[in-house]
């Protein structure tokens, strides 16, 4: 894959296009050991060696990170008030990463951070019926026929009916599997049966399961096996 040198530098977060042009004029950019003055030249990121100010720049066309999202962080690329999930990925190579879906600011657990738009679309599309599993703690008395109500599909307060879901309840804890992701859906589903969610954590999405070794706020790159498995959803 051939791309422009300035595009390579911007996608890796190294320089803006105007900064790249200035850096090239000053001989700060080396391509395969030689100073490159033209930033519109085409390079092969997988074969050519690009060095900026003596430091080699690594490149990845796509990146995939598993994040254990903590509370107090928003599922966004930027926010004026709160830190974002993308900001937690300190060693990312690209500047175009985004969360695949959203978790509420007070919700913890599995979140995929990537720049693969096609994969994200497939994971989030209701037509794909990708399972999303949550652990919930709640207040209130869960109705005797609650499991059947979840299985049949619940009518939310705005009149929208959810797709059938599966729930296992143990005391004030529940493990819920849904195939869609409407706004505040899990909390609204519990409200529909007279309960209030007090804690929520996503455990898995499709074939991807939260690594139990990741503490809230920690992340790791996906393995090749995990990436391939997600693409086969």
Domain boundaries, the chain: 3-56, 64-231
Model confidence pLDDT, tens digit, residues 79-129: 999 999 999 999 888 889 999 999 999 999 999 999 999 999 989 887 888
Catalytic residue numbers read 104
Q: pLDDT of 152-195, one tens digit each?
A: 999 999 999 999 999 999 999 999 999 988 889 999 999 999 99
Q: Which CATH architecture has domain 64-231?
A: 2-Layer Sandwich (3.30)
46-58 tens-digit pLDDT? 899 999 999 998 8
- CA dihedral 160→162→163→166, nearest 10 degrees, is -170
pLDDT tens digit string along 196-217?
999 999 999 999 999 999 999 9
User: What class, spelled out in words, does domain 3-56 have in CATH?
Assistant: alpha beta
The pLDDT value recorded for residue 45 is 86
pLDDT at site 59: 83
Report the Cα 149 to chain-centroid distance in Å: 30
Determine the pLDDT at residue 95: 86
pLDDT at 194: 97
Q: How confident is the model at residue 11 (pLDDT cuts 50, 70, 90)?
A: confident
Q: Rounded CA gap, 120 and 125, in Å?
A: 8
Q: What is the pLDDT of residue 181?
A: 84
Q: What is the pLDDT of residue 232?
A: 87
Q: Quick one: three-class SS letters along the chain?
A: CCEEHHHHHHHCCCCCHHHHHHHHHCCCEEECCEECCCCCCEECCCCCCEEECCEECCCCCCCEEEEEECCCCECCCCCCCCCECHHHCCCCCCCCCEECCCCCCCCEEEEEEECCHHHHHHHHCHHHCCCEEEEEEEECCCCCCHHHHHHHCCECCCCCECCCCEEEEECCEEEEEECCCCCCHHHHHHHHCCCEEEEEEEEEECCEECCCCCCCCCEEECCHHHHHHHHCC
Find the angle CA(180)-CA(151)-CA(207) to the nearest 5 degrees.
45
């Amino acid at each position: 894959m051939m791309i422009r040198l300035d595009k390579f530098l911007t996608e890796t977060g190294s320089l803006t296009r105007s900064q790249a042009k200035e850096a090239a004029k000053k001989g700060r950019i080396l391509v395969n050991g030689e100073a490159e003055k033209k930033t519109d030249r085409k390079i092969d990121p997988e074969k050519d060696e690009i060095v900026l100010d003596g430091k080699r720049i690594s490149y990845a066309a796509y990146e995939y990170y598993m994040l254990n999202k903590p509370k107090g962080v928003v599922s966004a690329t930027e926010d004026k008030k709160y830190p974002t999930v993308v900001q937690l990925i300190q060693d990312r190579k690209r500047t175009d990463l985004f969360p695949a879906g959203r978790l509420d600011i007070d919700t913890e657990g599995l979140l995929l951070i990537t720049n693969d738009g096609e994969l994200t679309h497939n994971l989030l599309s209701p037509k794909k019926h990708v399972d999303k599993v949550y652990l919930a703690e709640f207040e209130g008395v869960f109705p005797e026929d609650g499991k059947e109500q979840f299985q049949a599909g619940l009518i939310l307060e705005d009149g929208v009916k959810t797709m059938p879901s599966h729930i296992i309840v143990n005391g004030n804890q529940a493990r819920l599997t849904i195939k869609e992701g409407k706004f505040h859906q899990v909390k609204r589903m519990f409200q529909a049966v007279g309960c209030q969610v007090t804690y929520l954590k996503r455990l898995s999405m499709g074939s991807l399961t939260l690594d139990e070794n990741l503490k809230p706020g920690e992340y790791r790159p996906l393995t090749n096996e995990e990436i391939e498995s997600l693409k086969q959803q």
